[in-house]
Every structure is written in C-alpha cells, then in structure tokens.
Chains A and B, each alone.
Chain A
Amino acid sequence: MSVNTWLATGNFNTTYRQEQKTFVTSLDRSIFTLFLLTLFAWPVFFPISQKYMLVVDNILVAIVAVMGLNLLLGFAGLISIGHAAFIGIGAYTVASFSRTLGDSHVIVTHFWPVLILLAGFMGALFGAIVGLPALRLKHLYLAIATLSFQMIFQWVINFMSFFNQGQTIYVGRVFWFTGEIGRNQHYMFWYYIILTLVVLMGFGVRNLLKTRYGRSLVAVRDNDRAADAMGMNPGLTKVYAFALAGFFAGVAGALHAYLYRGIGFESFTLHQSVGYLAMAIVGGLGTLNGSFWGPVAIKYLDIQMEHLAEFAGHYMVQASNLSTALKPLSFGLVIVLFLMFEPRGIANWWRIAKSYTKLWPFRY
C-alpha cells in the first residue's frame, strides 16, 4: 500500500518491515541516488588541483573514522580519548607488511583491499582488548583508560625500531586492473575507492542501527542496568561497541596509509584523537549524517585558518607564531561554542532545514 506522504500526518507503519525501510518514499530514494551520482561524477566534470583533491580525500578518511567514533560515543555512550591510536593500529598494520616485505611487495601493492580489511580486523581486535576495562569501568574512569591506551600506543611506536621509531614508513604505489596508479591519478583513484567505502559503511551503519545489535547499543547507552534487566548483556555490548569503532578506525588508518603513501606517528597523537572527538561533536552525536558534517566542518575550518594566518602574515611580524596560535584558538572556540549553543551539532540544523522544506508553505 502506498501512502501519500504529502497528506500523511505521522508514521502509520503497520509492519516491522515498513519501519525498517531505509528510504520512506521513492522520491527519497531518487534524491539520494542523484546525490550519489553527483558525488561520483563531479571530479570528472570539474577537476580540481591535486592539493585540494588530497583535502577531499582526507575528509573522506576522517568520515570513515568518525562514523566509528560516533557509533561508540553517540550510540553506545562510551567515551574514547584514544581514537587516533585505533586509526594508528590500522595504519601500522599496513606499515608492518611494507616493513617486513618491502614497500612495493605484491601483497602491499596488489592485495590492498585485503590489507584494508585486515587492518579493520586488527583495529577491531585492539578495540575489543581496550574495551575490556569497560566491563567494569564507567564514565571518566573509562575515558582515562582509553587515554592510557593512547599514551602506551604512542610510546610503543616511538620506541620500537620495527616501526622506524615513529619516522615515516613508506608504502608503495598500488595497482588497479589498468596497471599501476601513477602520480597524477593517485588522489582521484583513492577518492573513488574511499567514497565507495564511505557509502558502503554508511549503509552498514544505517542498517545496523535497525537491527537488535544496533538497538542494544542505544539501550546500553540510555541505561545499562535497565538493558541488563531486559535480557541484554551490557558488558558484551560495550566490548562489541569498542570492536566496531576499532574496525572503522582500522579501515580509516589503512586508507590513510595508502593515501599518503607513508605513515608517521604524528598522525596518531592525542591531539588528533581530540580532533576526531571534536568532529563527532560538531557533526552531531548519535546521528549518522553528523559523521559526515563534522569532518567537513573541522577540516574546512583548518584550511580557512591557514589562509587567514597567511593573509595576516603579510601585515604582522610574528607570522609563524600567529599560524600556530590561530589553529588551536579557532578549534577550541568552535568546540566550546557548539557545545554551549548547539549541543546537537550540525545534524540538528540539517534536521530543521529538512522539516522546514518538507512542509514549506505551511508551519507547525
């Protein structure tokens, strides 16, 4: 039975299948398909320079990472101040292959999809291990446990000569069916690969949240004692949430490694972890589209601040100091202002805009 959504005054689902649909109407589906087509087509029609393509790729990698963090923080309500370390686990999985086999060994260059998947599972494994304290710890104690993991990770990377003491470890150029991906196509190629992954994982998250596994995350966030009473296992759910977040982070890390064709420890510091937290919060916790808005907003802010510092450098003497000062200043201001005035993030603006256009000539 098709319902005219223009006339409907609410949700009138009569079966569970109806409720589980991703797209409520065929119009929704066509708009979304069109949007996806635009995303895939625009680099062909409006090519941009390598520098900006890298920025776009970077945002997409951050989206993958933030989707995982949002599952953990927004849906399961577990605070992690060590997300960059999980991303590092993924990246260093790829790095250890290129370190032991040589950076242009056939496994690294031809079987990269397998390596990306493997990096995801390594991330999930470490996520589950780090999540183990969540069986007993809560709130701040748990946050500090993840902080400890971040610190230990940094120390291990800096200490072990296998990881080149945190100096750059190179990863070779990858091959596609058409042959080696050269310098000019590199960022374009990875744009398509990462975009495909983002779409797949986005659908994955959307569908997960409609199953019992996703709902149990939300139940545990809202009240784990009540969830326990209803027959869920809160401890296991928390560990599983950490593993899920670790999987996303691991994939993001491997993508980061391939995108930059090298890994240094400075991409996985505590500072970066805080950056991912900021992205998740600015985007909107507990919403899927928040994971897309957040990275875009924070990375855009970063670029604008660089431009501003460069511009101000023409008029002021202490230019280098200014650029180091402006970044943390703007970053902190954005976090604080969002939390004070829009705690639900950009996703909330999107929601408001959507409901406004849906009913447009009429109001509540």
Chain B
Amino acid sequence: MSYFFQIVVSGIVVGSIYALAALGLVLVYKSSRVANFAHGQIIAAGAFITFFLTVRVGVPIFLAFLASMIITFFLAMSVERIFLRRLIGEPIISVIMVTIGLASIIDGLIYLTPFGSENFSFPAFLPEDSLSLGGVSISWTQLVGLMITTLLIGAFSWFFKKSTVGISMRAVSDDQFGAMSVGISVPRVFGLAWATAGLSAAAAGCIIGNITGLNFETLHAFGIVVFPVVILGGLDSILGAVVAGIIMGLIQQFAGGYLDGNFGLHGTGNVMPYIILLIILLFKPHGLFGIHEIERV
C-alpha cells in the first residue's frame, strides 16, 4: 500500500511540474491562438540562465531564479515582437511551423554554448535527506518544487482573475474586436502573454532542473510532453492545465510503476500519456475543460 501512495505522491509532484510547464502554453494559446512548439526550448533557456548566474557569476540561487525569470520575460516578449507579430491572421499551420522553426533556432543557439551537450546540476541548497511520512518519502527538492509550483499557479490564477492586465488578456481571448473597441491594445496583450509564458517557463525550467539535473535533451523534451497535457486540459483553460497536468503525472507514474517490468514492457511511462490522450480525444474532442467553438459557414 505504501508503494501505491509513494507513486501517488511522485505522480502529483511530476504532475504539478507539468501543470506549471503547461501554464505558459495555455497563456499564449488563450490570448493569441498560437501553439508554441518552442516552449521546451524556453524552459531549457531559463534553467541554463539560472545555472549560469549561480555557478559562473556567483549570484545567490533565489536571486538568480528571479533574474532568469525576468530575462526570459523580456526574451519571450522580443520573440513575439520579432517573429510572431507579423503572422497575426496567417493560417494555423504557418504559426505552428514558425514556432517549430524558432525551436530549431534556439536549439542551434544552445548547441553553440557548452550547455548543449553536457550534464550539469544546480549546487545543492536544500537538505539531502528526504522527509518520511508513514512509509511515503518525499525529497526536499520535490517538496520545495511542489510548493513553488503551487504558489506560482495560485499567483497566475489571481493575476488572470483580478488584475487589469489579466482581465484584458481574457477579454482579448474572448473577442479580439470587442477588446479593441473598449480600448485594449491587442498586440500589447499578445506581447505580455508571451512574456508571462516565458516567465513561467523559466520557473518550470529551474524546478525541473533542480529535480532531474540539467540536461538540454530532457529539458527541451518537456516542450513536447506538455502537449498531451494542454490538449487534455482543453488548451485555453488554466484550471484544465492544472487538472490535466496532475492526471498525466499520475498516469505516467502509475504506468511506470506498475506496467514496466511486468508483461515484458518498459518505458510505458513515456508513451501512456499519448495513448490516454487519443482515447479521451475520441470522446471529448475539445479536452476536459476546452470551449467548444461554434463555427459558421
């Protein structure tokens, strides 16, 4: 039984990270209807900036964490300004391909630095031992990661519900012309959405990097793994991203914990989210919390 609860706990930890990583994607999709395939690369960039600042420059880690969030904030904003502003109103495949191209460019840029090929890890700043509660253990890095994630998701939800900028973002996602007519600058909202997505990506990158170690391949793979999460959650719902993130985390951990090794299977944790996604999409084509758009000829 404690094995079961252990898997539940690690599923929730992994799931909350998925939720945080998915948040950035949902933010961008919600306001500008762009699916960002370069999200994994921004996650990796954020993690490497933090690493560079702490280890090579010598900034305290929490300060570096904040600094990298601010840097990716402006980085993502400029990406939107340079590349995606021109593509407003283009067909969806063009926009998808531009973000794929961007992912490729950032890949190339990171491969130019030593971060592209080697493994790194953040200096340890938390106790090495793990907390144990009734046979279920959780390490300090996981616990702190979970706490920061919950805090950030809460902050983003508040931001969307209450702040003026958040409300204008929701207005743009609801109806662009309507938003314009009440004096909201739509391009500015797009830029801000990208910027906040970059910020959340950096946070996710640091937390993932702290738990799994810094390796470019694993970090940017998160950009793809996050897609089943957002599609399951319904692409434009923050609540959906959180719920779907935790569902996917649990599915992954349960598949890895119970299926691997039995029936001669292995690596099921990585493929199970996609299988479950396909099955759910057959019954709910707009995900769990997605809005069913009414189309007219």
Q: Please, what's the 1-or-0 string for B86-122, where 1 marks a CB less than 8 Å from any CB in chain A?
A: 1100101110111011111111110110101100000
Given contacts A133-B285, A155-B267, A158-B267, 6 further A-B pairs with CB under 8 A are A133-B281, A136-B285, A147-B224, A155-B270, A225-B296, A225-B297
How far, in angstroms, from A141 to B116 measured CA to CA in the complex?
A: 31
With A151-B274, A325-B116 known as contacts, the answer to whether A270 contacts B224 (CB < 8 A) is yes
| Residues of chain A lying within 8 A (CB to CB) of residue B87 | 339-340
Q: A79-B96, A321-B112 are in contact. Are A328 and B228 (CB under 8 A)?
A: no
Determine whether the beta carbon of A155 is less than 8 Å from that of B271. Answer: yes
Q: Are B116 and A73 in contact (CB under 8 A)?
A: no
Task: Give chain B nearest CB distance to A224 CB in angstroms.
Answer: 9
> Which among A133, A141, A226, A277 has the greatest number of chain B C-beta atoms within 10 A?
A141
Question: Is B13's beta carbon under 8 Å from chain A?
Answer: no
B281 touches A278 (CB 8 A): no
Task: Indicate whether B182 reaches chain A with its CB closer than 8 angstroms.
Answer: no
Contact with B along A53-73 (1 / 0, CB 8 A): 000000000000000000001
Question: What's the Cα separation between A140 and B95 when bound, in Å?
Answer: 11
The distance from the CB of B31 to the nearest CB of chain A, in whole angstroms, is 15
Query: Does B63 interact with chain A (Cβ within 8 Å)?
Result: no
Query: Which residues on B sit within 8 Å (CB–CB) of A324?
Result: 111, 116-117
Give, as a whole number of angstroms, the nearest-CB distance from B80 to chain A. Answer: 13
Contacts of B117 in A (CB 8 A): 321, 324
CA–CA, A127 to B114, complex, Å? 41
> Considering the chains assembled together, what is the distance between the CA atoms of A155 and B117 in angstroms?
24
Contact partners of A73 in chain B: CB under 8 A: 93
- Does chain A have a CB within 8 A of B295? yes
A277 touches B111 (CB 8 A): no
Whether, in the assembled complex, A236 has its beta carbon less than 8 Å from a beta carbon of chain B, the answer is no
Check if B100 sits within 8 Å of A277, measured CB to CB: yes
Verify if A335 is at the interface (C-beta below 8 Å from B): yes
Q: Which of A219-265 contact B (CB under 8 A)?
A: 223, 225-226, 229
Selected from A326, A330, A335, the residue in CB contact (under 8 A) with B97 is A335
Q: What are some 9 contacts across the A-B interface (CB < 8 A)?
A: A73-B93, A144-B277, A158-B267, A278-B101, A325-B111, A328-B104, A336-B98, A336-B101, A336-B102
Our pick among A144, A274, A325 for the contact of B228 (Cβ within 8 Å) is A144
Cβ of B286 within 8 Å of any chain A Cβ, yes or no, is yes
CA distance A322 to B113 in the complex (A): 9
Question: Which residues of B lie under 8 Å from residue A138 when comparing CB positions?
Answer: 285
Is B282 among interface residues, defined by CB-CB distance under 8 A?
A: yes
Of all chain A residues, the one with the shortest Cβ separation from B38 is A332
Binding site for A on B (CB under 8 A): 35, 83, 86-87, 90, 92-94, 96-98, 100-109, 111-112, 114, 116-117, 224, 227-228, 231, 235, 265-267, 270-271, 274-275, 277-278, 281-282, 285-287, 295-297
Minimum C-beta distance from A205 to chain B (A): 19
A332 touches B96 (CB 8 A): no
CB of A218 within 8 A of chain B? no
Contacting pair A226 B297 (CB below 8 A)? yes
A148, CB-defined interface residue at 8 Å:
yes
Partner of B105, one of A133, A147, A152, A332: A332
User: Does A200 have its Cβ within 8 Å of any Cβ on chain B?
Assistant: no
B-side contacts of A332, CB under 8 Å: 100-108
B18: min CB distance to chain A, Å: 15
A225–B228 Cα distance when bound, in Å, is 28
- List, in ascending order, chain B residues with CB within 8 A of A151's CB: 224, 270-271, 274
Closest to A273 in B: B100
For the complex, give the distance between the alpha carbons of A77 and B100 in Å: 18
Bound CA–CA A281/B285 (angstroms): 27
Contacts of B100 in A (CB 8 A): 274, 277-278, 332, 335
A281-B97 in contact given A155-B267, A226-B297, A339-B87 (Cβ < 8 Å) = yes
Residues of B near A331 (CB, < 8 A) are 101, 104, 108
Q: Which A residues are CB-close (under 8 A) to B227? A: 144, 147
Complex interface residues of chain A between 133 and 188 (CB less than 8 A to chain B): 133, 136-141, 143-145, 147-149, 151-152, 155, 158-159
Query: Bound complex: CA of A143 vs CA of B96, how far in Å?
Result: 10
- In the complex, the answer to whether B104 meets A325 with C-beta atoms within 8 Å is no
Q: Is the CB of A152 within 8 A of B275?
A: yes
Whole-angstrom distance from the CB of B209 to the nearest CB of chain A?
21
Q: In this assembly, does A343 line the interface, its C-beta being within 8 Å of a C-beta of chain B?
A: yes
A325 x B101 contact (CB < 8 A): no
**A353 CB–B CB distance under 8 Å:** no
Min Cβ gap B234→A in Å is: 9
A270 to B221, CA, bound (A): 11
Q: Is the CB of A223 within 8 A of B274?
A: no
Which residue, of A73, A145, A332, has the highest number of chain B Cβ atoms within 10 A?
A332
A residues 342-364 near B (Cβ < 8 Å) are 343
